[in-house]
Amino acid sequence: MSTSTPDGLVLRGFTPPLRLADFKLIAFDMDSTLINIECVDEIAAAAGRKEEVAAITEAAMRGEITDYKESLRQRVALLKGVPVSALHEVFDQRLQLNPGAEALVRAAQAAGLKTLLVSGGFTFFTDRIRDRLGIDYTRSNVLGVEDGLLTGRMVDQPWGDICDGEEKKKMLLATCALLHIAPKQAIAMGDGANDLPMMGVSGLSVAYHAKPKVRDQAMVAINDGGLDRLLEVARP
């Protein structure tokens, strides 16, 4: 059973209000959740291939492409030859935090929650967002670079090759284990189908301006306004 409010919040499976301090961890997707863009699409613009890459991204986020890893490999291959300077341009000129992002992160930190950023995107961006917001843990993908140009491939990491939906879930569960907390003490926020695995094991799943499949499964759907609208449901 779900309850819709006239101002763009949909609640499902619980009765608010909750207390933010009852949770110990909050996990964020990055692209189109914590930030306003899909970074891979914006990098592709430098190669003149934004429309092609964005179409794959949209299908993957809607859950129409079930093999996220392969979809990302396809998109990254189209970035071959793009200079690293294009990534700096995307970060400096196009990337912004979504409305309410910093307010929500600060409220969570003040309430004693640890913060986790798990992204199917790239460390170039997650590292910078981590440093800007003081996020505790991150997991994302490393773009291969040779002679200042993207290779069109990603670099393997000790935990695996690509951070897809299953890896996001694994990282959330591993972080809970590290913190000696139960997954039900974690909040997971995302917008795309690859966020559903981590949202499914968390105690509170939050869809932010999300794809229909994600909105339909989340306990909280924020369809209007900023990320900090979660504070109307889980009060500081």
- Catalytic annotation, residues: 29, 31
Residue pair 97/36 in contact (Cβ under 8 Å)? The answer is: yes
Task: Provide the 8-state DSSP code for 210.
Answer: -
What amino acid is encoded at 31 in this protein? Answer: D
Length reported for the chain: 236
154 beta partners:
143
3-state secondary structure labels for all residues of 69-123: HHHHHHHHHCCCCCEHHHHHHHHHHHCCECCCHHHHHHHHHHCCCEEEEEEEEEH
Give the H or E element holding residue 143: strand 137-146
Between CA 28 and CA 31 the distance in angstroms is 9
Taking only Cα atoms into account, the Rg of the chain, rounded to an integer number of angstroms, comes to 17
At residue 32, what are phi and psi to the nearest 5 degrees? 65, 5
CA geometry: angle 99, 200, 172, nearest 5 deg: 75
Q: Residue 167 class from Cβ within 10 Å (0-12 exposed, 13-18 middle, 19+ buried)?
A: buried
